[in-house]
A = this chain, B = another copy of it.
């Protein structure tokens, strides 16, 4: 059951839940899986940037991935394997696939600059993990500082048959989706799933530009599922109404660095994880920040019942 270019819908980015003492919180992994399942997700992604992947030891990474894979049952799980070196990338990719991962996600290393450096990197990455493991290409310039044009993405897709999905989180990125879909319309790019990230800040329009769904970790994956579905059903106004109701919180959660603290804080408030602890280095929320999130949750509850009881005006 490997990942294919047909993948669509919502693959939430799972956080890695920790206990207050920093150990992996396995019970919360199970609770998260139940929630992701229950809200209509079509898959899951673990060990991404927001999954605090670099803070785990190798054995822990594999254990976390395995537990999420088990928890998601027959839904496909993508495992982030980005690493400074190919040996570690290969080791995790092969081991996770043995545990049942549907594919892996690979981000370019931050030092890459020219088109040729970037495409060479992905050829070598595929050689390292093996061409039999489907991979998701992560395009996240804001954090990774690597800029890939639509043409470069096309080269990577064409050069590597195992590239089946783009995690699109360029910013601004709407034109990039249109450009890639135009490549496909003109026949110069083979089928490719495009799921969008960036905390869902542009999900409303990304769907209209041709995205297949979302892959991001916003603390209300239900909203992502609904917006994706409404847009696919052509119920545009409803999609925007729901999206706009969440936008103040989406925007707040999408702050660089602080975002994960917000996300874990809300997930804890929702009872999905038992602690919002992060491993170091990790920015926590100040009292003022917590009050702001509470305020946003209370305002959200006026429009979306799923936020009821979580916040405080």
Binding site for B on A (CB under 8 A): 53-58, 60, 83-88, 91, 110, 113-117, 120-121, 124, 127-128, 147-149, 151-152, 171-172, 174-175, 178, 201-202, 204-205, 208-209, 237, 240, 244, 247-248, 251-252, 255-258, 279-281, 286, 288-289, 292, 299, 313
Residues from chain B with Cβ under 8 Å of A286 in the complex = 175, 178
Do A85 and B151 touch across chains, with their CB atoms under 8 A apart? no
Contacts A85-B55, A147-B113, A247-B251 known; A292 to B174 CB distance under 8 Å?
yes
Residues from chain B with Cβ under 8 Å of A255 in the complex = 171-172
Task: List 18 additional A-B contacts (Cβ < 8 Å) besides A84-B84, A114-B148.
Answer: A57-B87, A57-B91, A86-B280, A115-B115, A115-B149, A116-B149, A116-B151, A124-B281, A128-B280, A172-B258, A174-B289, A175-B286, A175-B288, A209-B288, A237-B313, A240-B299, A244-B248, A247-B251
Do B54 and A84 touch across chains, with their CB atoms under 8 A apart? yes
Give Cα A258 to B171, complex, Å.
Answer: 10
Residues from chain B with Cβ under 8 Å of A247 in the complex = 244, 247-248, 251
Residues from chain B with Cβ under 8 Å of A113 in the complex = 113, 147
26 A/B residue pairs, CB under 8 Å, sorted by A: A54-B83, A54-B85, A55-B85, A58-B88, A60-B87, A86-B279, A86-B281, A87-B279, A114-B148, A114-B152, A117-B147, A120-B281, A128-B280, A171-B255, A171-B256, A172-B256, A178-B286, A202-B251, A204-B248, A205-B252, A205-B292, A208-B292, A237-B313, A240-B248, A240-B299, A247-B248
Among A57, A255, A289, chain B packs the most CB atoms within 10 A around the CB of A57
Give Cα A292 to B313, complex, Å.
Answer: 32
- Closest chain B residue to A113, Cβ basis: B147
Give min CB distance, A86 to chain B, whole Å.
Answer: 6
Residues from chain B with Cβ under 8 Å of A292 in the complex = 174, 205, 208
Give Cα A151 to B119, complex, Å.
Answer: 14
Do B87 and A55 touch across chains, with their CB atoms under 8 A apart? yes
Give min CB distance, A139 to chain B, whole Å.
Answer: 12
